[in-house]
Structure 1
Amino acid sequence: MVLIVEFEIETPILRETVETVSRIDVEEIYQSETGETKLICWVYGDDLEQVDGTLADDDTVREWTLLEEPDDRRLYSVTLSERGEEHLTYPTAAAYDIGYREITVTGETRIRARVPTREALFAYRDRCLEKGIPFRIQRIFQESDQARERYGVSDRQQEALLIALEEGYFDVPRETTLSAVAGQLDISDQALSARLRRGQANLLRNTLGSSPPDLNR
């Protein structure tokens, strides 16, 4: 089951730079022939003249090159410093066949990624936490709705079940509370409880039973 996962991580990479601009969109991450990690990124802000000076002060950046300069943004090639490399999660993602689709740096680093399995997601999450990089899932959904149609689970039920699973709500003992999971989904405890019950019932009916699904949310 291929998943699309939207999550936030707290990493120092480009953190000093983004404080003087509105946002940074990372278009590409790659390794040069000499083994250096480079980012191709668009920088947006009201005063882009400050960017070069801020990059010079950013200890996660070793060097940079301005590639394009339209009126409202700048395109940079950024080579990470040793400190930047230490906090880079991309190699870990690649090891678990996780492909980054979007990376936006603002107050946090928000990433949208294609993840092959839940196990790969959890392993990647654990490696980030081992590195001291906080990791928060914002949204999970399937790349296609084939599995949802098969198991009779609505999109909202699926999202609630997967986040509850990832956060340890179903663990014994529980690693999180109903309120904490509800907070991530921005719904009430009662709404989440009902959504989880319906989702679990639909899964059971469509795997162990034969009753038709109830897609009420």
Structure 2
Amino acid sequence: MSLIVEFELETPILRTAASAIETLRIDELYRTEAGEPKLLFWAMGEEFTAFERALRADDSIARFAELESLAERRLYSVVLSEEATTKLTYPVAAEHDIGILDIVVTETTVVRARVPSRKALRAYREGCLERDVGFLVRRIYQEHRTETAQYDLTAHQREALLTALERGYFEVPRTVTLSELAAELDISDQALSARLRRGQTNLLWNTLADDSS
């Protein structure tokens, strides 16, 4: 049974920016066509003028863009600087089959992840330290095999898939648009599209691809 591990990372990524806002919640991490790592995250707070000044001053950020503005939170994308890229621990997590469930940045960077074994956790910790990224475990507990966990779905992915199914998004023709669904879930079109894609991928890997018959 997999372990759920909550830990702190002492990383320079988004540290300056995070000091100017209440909370950052990382939604996606991917690469541009040019191979640059990009983060998609929600910033939650009130002082967004000061926050964007902090974004410009943050050495871990090469450039950023505001994607969506809602009450007391905004969605941003940032391309990381070359120096910040060397501090990314996501490739180490992927190498050891560690699934990142949640990343919240406040005064510290707190990560919640699904880890296949303590051996994998030790290897990930070593990879963090090799990158001069501090690592501190907060708590470890066993994952309960709920329906969501069985198919490796996050709670957000399950919510998005069920809402899309119930509202007719998968019907032909569709009875609801992606934008309408995104508004209902209070997220951006881009974030919902990524959430549906990842959720469907997890379902397929854990059903059809896992069928040995």
Q: TM-score, normalised by structure 2?
A: 0.66
Runs of 4+ in 1 over 6 A off after TM superposition: none
Within 5 A, what are the aligned runs for 1:114-125? Answer: 114-125=114-125
Task: Please say which of residues 13-22 and 49-58 is displaced more in the overlay.
Answer: 49-58
Q: In the aligned structure 2, how far is the partner of 1:138 from the partner of 1:123?
A: 17
Q: Show the counterpart of 1:103.
A: 103
Q: In the aligned structure 1, how far is the partner of 2:22 from the partner of 2:144?
A: 33
Residue type of the alignment partner of 2:28: E
Q: Show the counterpart of 1:28.
A: 28
CA radius of gyration, larger in: 1
Q: In the aligned structure 2, how far is the partner of 1:34 from the partner of 1:3?
A: 35
Q: In the aligned structure 2, how far is the partner of 1:99 from the partner of 1:93?
A: 7
Q: Deviations over 1:109-160 (max 9, x none)?
A: 10000111111101001111122211110111111279xxxxxxxxxxxxxx
Within 5 A, what are the aligned runs for 1:1-217? Answer: 1-144=1-144
Q: In the aligned structure 2, how far is the partner of 1:29 from the partner of 1:36?
A: 11
Residue type of the alignment partner of 2:62: R
Structure 2: stretches of 5+ with no match in the other structure: 147-213
Q: In the aligned structure 2, how far is the partner of 1:132 from the partner of 1:65?
A: 28
Q: Deviations over 1:22-57 (max 9, x none)?
A: 110001111122111010100112211222221111
- 3-state DSSP of counterpart to 1:69: strand
- 3-state DSSP of counterpart to 2:70: coil
Shift of residue 86, structure 1, vs aligned partner: 1.1
Q: In the aligned structure 1, how far is the partner of 2:4 from the partner of 2:31?
A: 25
Q: In the aligned structure 2, how far is the partner of 1:145 from the partner of 1:34?
A: 39
Structure 1: stretches of 5+ with no match in the other structure: 147-217
Q: TM-score, normalised by structure 1?
A: 0.65
> Aligned residues: percent identity?
47
Q: In the aligned structure 1, how far is the partner of 2:78 from the partner of 2:20?
A: 17
- 3-state DSSP of counterpart to 2:16: helix
Residue type of the alignment partner of 2:73: R
